[in-house]
Amino acid sequence: MSPSVLKNLKQYFGYDSLRPSQIPVISSILANQDTLAIMPTGGGKSICYQLPSTLLSGLTIVVSPLIALMHDQVESLSKNGINAMYYNSSQSTEEQAEVRGILNEMEKYGHTNWEGSIKMLYTSPERLLANDAQFLNYLKKVPVCLFAIDEAHCVSSWGHDFRPEYSQLGKVKDLFPTIPIIALTATADELTRSDILVKLNLVNPKTFISSFDRPNIHYRVEAKADAYTQLEEFISGFKGQAGIIYCLSRKSTEEVAIKLTKMGIKALPYHASIDGSLKQKAYKQFMDDKVQVIVATIAFGMGIDKPNVRFVIHWNLPKNIESYYQETGRAGRDGLPSEALLLYNAGDSATLRKFIDNGGTAGPMISIKDRDMFRSIQHDKLDRLLEFCQTGHCRRRVLLQYFRESMIKDCGNCDRCTNPPAKIDGTELAQKIMSAIYRTDQRYGVGYIVDILLGVSNDRMVKNGHINLPTFGIGKDLEKQEWMNYVNQLIDLGLVDIKYDGFIKTLSLNEKSKIVLTGGGNTDLVEYKAKIATPAKAKDKKHKDILSADQQIVFNKLRELRKEIATREDVPAFVIFGDAALVDMAQSMPKNKKEFAEISGVGKLKLEKYADEFLEVIIF
Ligand code: ADP
Ligand code: ZN
């Protein structure tokens, strides 16, 4: 990275280095290239367009579906010395006119010395495209240097957050053919990805997919038994620290919030039928650390931008692994240790299946066939989630494998790694399964492969001539359920691949299967027991404290000061400094302004503004 990139990174954001996944994305934008960046929640997407913007001459337009978040983003940027504004329907006519006034000035005077003017404008797709894209057309008079399309998966009707206005965003490229576009999302599946490239009309786009690993999140799944006691025990380890609890129904958000309040924990419910202004208030109080826990349906979702959420609890089953990963990903965006707890109750899956069949999640579909296919995929995805809950293997391995990312070794930071169930050498079982897949040309799903092993000679099997295969019936010694379980374990471990193509699911072999088939390496599997279905209550210990007792005292004082300043300036506390910065201060105890400038998260403007106050707390 060139020195000017790093200089601006420190000056405006206070960081010394980019994360490895940010580097190629930023280079691509600076090379004027259309770019698609796929990064997990908390991966650091914002800097990917904010930093290049500070290096380019002109205005950056950020398109975001989340009007509620624009204010905080603009606030954060301004505190870092980057002038930003937003333009959306939540503003009064006067406020909107003020923004247009500023843009008019740019039109007249050009836009090179940006520190005196605005650098970034956040807007919604509706605002940009309303009245035949009036505002987008108007922007042609302004020196625009970059378009950033956040939450870009909203263009895809396959995705879970389809927004019809997003599919019109192809007009941006039509009207600004030479201006680079960066599209960003945390949704990884291939269908959505190609939809984004096509619908946004990107020209020779470069796609970058970051690792989806969130190493600071500890995963844990517990059978839901005495749920409120489990909840109380768990939350007691997080005194005063922020958390989100996800529930399936509005009613349970209210019940859980009331219970927590009775336990002396400040909690508020959040769901779609809560009045708008109350919802905003709950959101603000949570952002400002005045409410510790939000108990929410998934309505409290996309883009919760609070960096210091220390835990996420799933009170009910999420609908699939994507949702689970995105929801748990709202914990620990600041990189500090955080927990994800899922309370597993198999009964929830019946409710979820009803949702799917009633079309609750189907979105706008065109034909009955498409609709049925969509539902069938949703059921399969739910099956994968249930397997994740019941797995005996490292949770992170199973999650990452779902996103087609392999781990070299188990993570050591999940309940299964801490309390691993007994394993058996499953090499022979795996070889039998793989050879059945191979001999049937990798064209069948789990059920069919298991039937081959069991030697089930039904019509289809006879017609396909598979009763003559040497693998036919070689697995008669085990029950159907056992084989199904072992095949699923191989999928979870990435030893065989599963492909979804509409209604058809097929198993196929990959590089790792070849190693097993040729006798290389052992395949450890968890022995099938009908009972392993419900995960036991994990007894593993909490994540390690990262601060010593003395450092914790300093940290608490710094947190108080941060709250005081945040109240004074009427912004969320993390806009002043993130928890990671406070932890760094408590650990390295800077003695003067020069040392304070070294703290991660301290940029030029914040150094001037806040160093004295914070140093006073640190030194005394
Ligand atoms: P995303 O939008 O991908 O969920 P954010 O852009 O909100 O993630 O970034 C998550 C957190 O990581 C923020 O607190 C941000 O300041 C921090 N962050 C991003 N890039 C870096 C970096 N290079 N060094 C340190 N912290 C970073
Ligand atoms: Zn693990």
Q: Which of 155, 183, 209 is the last residue of a domain?
A: 209
Residues 244-258: tens digit of each pLDDT = 999 999 999 999 999
Predicted TM-score of the model (pTM):
0.78
Contacts of 227 (CB under 8 A, 6+ apart): 315, 343
**pLDDT the model gives residue 188:** 67
Dist. CA 208 → ligand 2 center (Å): 26
Nearest residue (by CA) to ligand 1, atom 4, is: 42
Q: Can you tell me whether residue 268 is helix, strand or coil?
A: strand
For the CA of 16, the closest atom of ligand 1 is 24
450 and 395 share a domain? Answer: no
- Ligand 1: residue whose CA is nearest its atom 20: 44
Q: Which ligand is closest to the CA of 415, given by its number?
A: 2
Same domain, 297 and 341: yes
3-state secondary structure of 249: coil
Q: Report the pocket of ligand 1 as residue ranges, CB < 6 Å.
A: 15, 18-19, 22, 39, 41-47, 305, 307, 333-334, 578, 600
Distance CA(314)–CA(300), nearest Å, equals 13
What ligand is nearest to the CA atom of residue 416? 2
Q: Is a pLDDT exceeding 90 seen at residue 159?
A: no
287, 351 contact by CB (below 8 A): no
Q: Quick one: which of 350, 521, 353 has its CA closest to 431?
A: 521
- Measuring from atom 22 of ligand 1, which residue has the nearest CA? 18
In a domain? residue 231:
yes
Regarding predicted confidence, which is higher, 498 or 312?
Answer: 312
Per the domain annotation, does 248 fall within a domain?
yes
C-alpha–C-alpha distance, residues 568 and 570, integer Å: 6
CATH of the domain at 135: 3.40.50.300
**Alpha carbon of residue 501 to chain centroid:** 25
- Which ligand 1 atom is at minimum distance from the Cα of 150? 2
Please tell me whether residues 327 and 404 are part of one structural domain: yes
372 in the same domain as 235: yes
Summarised one tens digit per residue, pLDDT across range 573-603 is 889 999 999 999 999 999 999 999 999 999 9
Atom of ligand 1 nearest to the CA of 13: 16
Atom of ligand 1 nearest to the CA of 41: 4
Q: Where is the domain boundary, 418, 448, 471?
A: 418
For residue 166, the enclosing domain spans 3-209
Give 53-101 pLDDT, tens digit per residue. Answer: 999 989 999 999 888 789 889 999 999 999 999 999 889 999 999 999 9
User: DSSP letters along 72-88, please?
Assistant: HHHHHHHHTT--EEEES
The SS3 call for residue 36 is: strand
Kindly state whether residues 78 and 183 are assigned to the same domain.
yes
Is 122 inside any structural domain?
Answer: yes
**Measured distance CA(145)–CA(29) in Å, rounded:** 10
Ligand nearest the Cα atom of residue 395: 2
pLDDT tens sequence across 217-240: 999 999 888 899 999 999 999 988
pLDDT at residue 366, as a whole number: 59
Calculate how far, in angstroms, residue 333's C-alpha sits from the geometric centre of ligand 1: 7
